[in-house]
Amino acid sequence: MKRVDDFRLRLGQKELVPIMIGGMGVDISTAELSLVAARLGGIGHISDAMVPTVSDRRFKTKYVKDKLQQYKFNVANSDKSVVQFNMGLLAEATARHVGATMEAKQGDGLIFINCMEKLTMNAPKETLRVRLTAALDAGIDGITLAAGLHLGSFALIEDHPRFRDAKLGIIVSSLRALQLFLKKSARTGRLPDYVVVEGPLAGGHLGFGMDWAQYSLPVIVAEIRDWLAEQQLDIPLIPAGGVFTGTDAVNYLEMGAAAVQVATRFTVSRECGLPEDVQQEYFKASEDDIEVNQISPTGYPMRMLKSSPAIGSGIRPNCEAYGYLLDSKGYCQYIEAYNREVAAHPDARKIKVFDKTCLCTHMRNFDCWTCGHYTYRLKDTTRRNEDGTYQLLDAEHVFRDYQFSADGQIALPE
């Protein structure tokens, strides 16, 4: 019976343990978590979601406070088009977050940044270019382009001196999305170094509609693998979504995958950014406590615990402080939903908004408890304390369990 450790991921000259911890915004996949993966010879991700906010928490900077101060005059205005990010400060925050992480890196593994195209930040192209360029400048090993098709993202950085040396990968949920990307980026003369194929059981935003349950990751992976072979394209495939044990991973490696991307099992590790009381909610969850809903203003379905405080919360939009989901015209679906409820309940002191949520604020505050489908199995990966709470895990323990377990087994902590 094989184990994950019997396989290696080859990326250029590099040989890696074929385990990649996926990006989890906003700072759920912390620098600390990514550093464990790199130290153990795999790949870890930090996330570029709301980096100025993350920098404030990590380095005691004041980006959010200063931005709110600058745009305070606009807080009651439903038109948010004046709220712009300062590109110099955005680059500075990214460089700080990435630079400090890369400086702390030890071991043979790599650290990538997960970059969400859907963070349109009131100037989609410009802010994305700054984020990508600053991450490359600060020495990130690679960039995983996520959430959105990113059809033009390679072109945004094709003049960067590291365009060919940094590892660049994309996340897709269908063969068609991959074909579109390859067609659109062909002009840059560069293929992705790896393709993460994310299935319907993943955490965070899903690349499917509300009919997600009709799709199957092994089927999509096989379809993409066969098409790449037909085209004689040698691009490592990395399935993600519902890979819960080392044995699940081996099944994909045996069908030709180069590695797996995993996330949910690390949400209950000490190095993860979620506060401990939230981690206990993840442990306690049963299958019925998890749903895929449409409250994200990005328009993508998102999986989360039904008890997330973000659901139904009718707070005033915080675009002056955050504003990461504003499109190029300063529009976000939550602003519209909020204004509609305010108009419908003119005398209410507090309103409820159920169809959309202020994702920036609630992700920032760890109040949107996004999670993978198998979150309800996390309780089987640890021991219970005498007071009924569950024991948090070391990320190293979880990583090594993926790497060395066999027979569908999950090793419990000491």
Taking the least distance from each CB to ligand FMN, the nearer of 20 and 102 is: 20
**Distance of closest approach, residue 81 Cβ to ligand FMN, in angstroms:** 26
Q: Is 299 left (phi over 0), alpha (psi -120 to 50) or beta?
A: left
Establish if 101 lies at the interface with ligand FMN (CB under 6 A).
no
Complete DSSP assignment for 324-376? TT--TTS--HHHHHHHHHHHH-TT-SS-EE-S---HHHHHHTT-S-B--GGGG
Establish if 267 lies at the interface with ligand FMN (CB under 6 A).
yes
CA 209, CA 215: separation in Å to the nearest integer?
Answer: 10
Taking the least distance from each CB to ligand FMN, the nearer of 84 and 364 is: 364
Binding ligand FMN (rule: CB under 6 A), the pick from 132, 143, 157, 171 is 171
Residues 359-378 vs ligand FMN: string with x where CB under 6 A? Answer: -----------xxx-x----
Q: Which segment (90-98, 119-127, 195-203, 318-326) binds ligand FMN by CB under 6 A?
A: 195-203
**Distance of closest approach, residue 305 Cβ to ligand FMN, in angstroms:** 10
Taking the least distance from each CB to ligand FMN, the nearer of 225 and 265 is: 265
CA 211, CA 229: separation in Å to the nearest integer?
Answer: 29
Q: In this structure, what token pair is assigned to residue 77?
A: 């205005």
Binding ligand FMN (rule: CB under 6 A), the pick from 55, 120, 245, 264 is 264
Establish if 53 lies at the interface with ligand FMN (CB under 6 A).
no
Establish if 114 lies at the interface with ligand FMN (CB under 6 A).
yes
Establish if 146 lies at the interface with ligand FMN (CB under 6 A).
yes
**Distance of closest approach, residue 331 Cβ to ligand FMN, in angstroms:** 22
Establish if 220 lies at the interface with ligand FMN (CB under 6 A).
no
**Distance of closest approach, residue 347 Cβ to ligand FMN, in angstroms:** 38
Contact in structure between 371 and 203 (CB atoms under 8 Å): yes
Establish if 203 lies at the interface with ligand FMN (CB under 6 A).
yes
**Distance of closest approach, residue 286 Cβ to ligand FMN, in angstroms:** 17
Establish if 241 lies at the interface with ligand FMN (CB under 6 A).
yes
Q: 106: burial class by Cβ within 10 Å (0-12, 13-18, 19+)? A: exposed
Contact in structure between 103 and 59 (CB atoms under 8 Å): no
Establish if 23 lies at the interface with ligand FMN (CB under 6 A).
yes
Q: How many residues bind ligand FMN (CB under 6 A)?
A: 30
**Distance of closest approach, residue 349 Cβ to ligand FMN, in angstroms:** 32
Q: 2: burial class by Cβ within 10 Å (0-12, 13-18, 19+)? A: middle
Establish if 43 lies at the interface with ligand FMN (CB under 6 A).
no
Question: How many other CB atoms are there within 10 angstroms of residue 10's CB atom?
Answer: 12
Q: Count Cα neighbours of 282 within 13 Å in the Cβ-side half-sphere.
A: 33
Q: In this structure, what token pair is assigned to residue 162?
A: 């590291």
Closest CA to 356 of 289, 299, 394, 398: 299
Buried b (16+ CB within 10 A) or exposed e, 119-142: bbbbbbebbbbbbbbbbbbbbbbb
Q: 387: burial class by Cβ within 10 Å (0-12, 13-18, 19+)? A: exposed
Question: Both ends of the chain: CA-CA distance in Å?
Answer: 25
Establish if 22 lies at the interface with ligand FMN (CB under 6 A).
yes
Q: For 182, phi and psi rounded to 5 degrees?
A: -65, -40
Taking the least distance from each CB to ligand FMN, the nearer of 71 and 390 is: 390
Establish if 200 lies at the interface with ligand FMN (CB under 6 A).
no
**Distance of closest approach, residue 131 Cβ to ligand FMN, in angstroms:** 13
**Distance of closest approach, residue 45 Cβ to ligand FMN, in angstroms:** 7
Taking the least distance from each CB to ligand FMN, the nearer of 203 and 317 is: 203
Establish if 395 lies at the interface with ligand FMN (CB under 6 A).
no
228 three-state secondary structure? helix
The site for ligand FMN (CB under 6 A) is made up of 22-25, 28, 47, 49, 114, 116, 146-147, 171, 198, 201-204, 240-243, 261-264, 267, 370-372, 374
